Every structure is written in structure tokens, then in C-alpha cells.
Structure 1
Amino acid sequence: MFIISLTYTDLAGVDALLGAHRDYLKEQYGRGVFLMSGRKVPRTGGIVIAACESREEVEALVELDPFKEAGVATYEITEFVPTMTSDHLASFREE
């Protein structure tokens, strides 16, 4: 499991690409890769929780984000092992 933390570097550029970014997110949700996402408060970036098999997979997905392609955000990727979850996310729990 991975946390993708975006930090906006050009808010006007982010605003211009929101439609394309949302299409990218919807595609990954459709593939079952992204589990949740949203903006940070204050609006300095965003967070994505991704169920990828490897760091290489999540890094490749980040490269497809229109924000990344346009250079309007930077990315930090953190891998973690979910050992406790709510019942709704039990299928992602690892021992």
C-alpha cells in the first residue's frame, strides 16, 4: 500500500489541469488501484492512497499524472503495510 503526497508548485497550473487530473484519477479508480484521494487543507497539494503491487508500479503511475507531466506538483511516495483497518478495508489488511 502506498501514500502519494503531492505538493503544488504552480497553483494556476494545477487549476488549469484539474479536469485532466480528475480523468487520470477516475481511470486509476476504475482499475482498482486508487482507493481514496483528496486535497490537503490548506490547499497546498493532495493525497492519494494506492493499492499497488510494487514501488515501481506506483512510480510509473505518478509519471502519468497530468500534474507531473506539466511540472506543477512534486511527489513523495511512502510505502506502508496496513496491519489494522476498519472493517470496510479488511481486504487490504496484512498480517
Structure 2
Amino acid sequence: MKHFLLEGEHLVPFSELSDLVPLHHAFLQKGYDDGVFLFSGPQIPAHGGFLAARAESRKALDTILAEEPFVKAGKMRFSRVTEFDAAQYQPILQDWFREPSGDA
């Protein structure tokens, strides 16, 4: 499993995104429910946001991100996507960063 830090950049003022916010939140919740997202949140001020995600590959991540409602509407882009290795982390995050064993 690969891990990524993403920076989203709004291409329009945040006020123009209000009709898509419920869909955006539903997209994020699905990512949390599926175990793909670890955390997310807006920049301050709200010119974009940050997201920590995991996927089998960058291509698989891009497939997921293509369904993000702000992106689909052409109102946001992920301007920076950085793959990283979590060398250290709080013990509570062990399950999220551990490689799947396939023994389930």
C-alpha cells in the first residue's frame, strides 16, 4: 500500500462551491469508510485543502480522486500529490500504515 499527502487547490472562490459541499463531504466519508483516507481539512483561509490517503498505486489513487465532486466540476485540482513512507507514527495509527497481510 502506498501513502500520499495531497494538496487541493480551489480554482474558484469557495463561495462558488457551496452547492457541491454535501457531495464533497459524502465523497470524503466514503473514502474514510473504505479505509482510503486518514484525515482531511481546509486550508485557512479556505483556498484549498489537505488530504492523507492510501492506495495500491498512484494510478488507483487518481481513479478515486477523479470522482471528487469539486474536481469533476472543474472547480478544484490536486496541485500537489506526494508519496511518502511513514517511518514513525503514533501507535494508534499502526493499523492504517501496516501492510495488509492478506490473511483475513
* Common topology (TM > 0.5): yes
**Residue of 63, 67, 72 corresponding to 2:70:** 67
Q: Distance in 2 between matches of 1:41 and 1:82?
A: 25
Q: Deviating runs (4+, > 2 A) in structure 1?
A: none
More helix as a share of residues: 1
TM-score (norm 1): 0.90
CA RMSD, Structure 1 to Structure 2 (Å): 1.4
Match in the other structure for 2:86: 82
Alignment pair present for 1:48 and 2:51: yes
Paired positions, count: 94
The secondary structure found in structure 2 opposite 1:83 is coil
Q: 1:28 is matched with which residue: 31, 34, 48?
A: 31
TM-score by length of structure 2 reads 0.83
Gaps of at least 5 residues in structure 1 are none
For structure 2, the 5+ residue unaligned runs are 100-104
Distance in 2 (alpha carbons) for counterparts of 1:65 and 1:57: 14
Q: What is the alpha-carbon distance in structure 2 between the residues aligned to residue 85 and residue 93 of structure 1? A: 11
Residue aligning to 2:6: 4
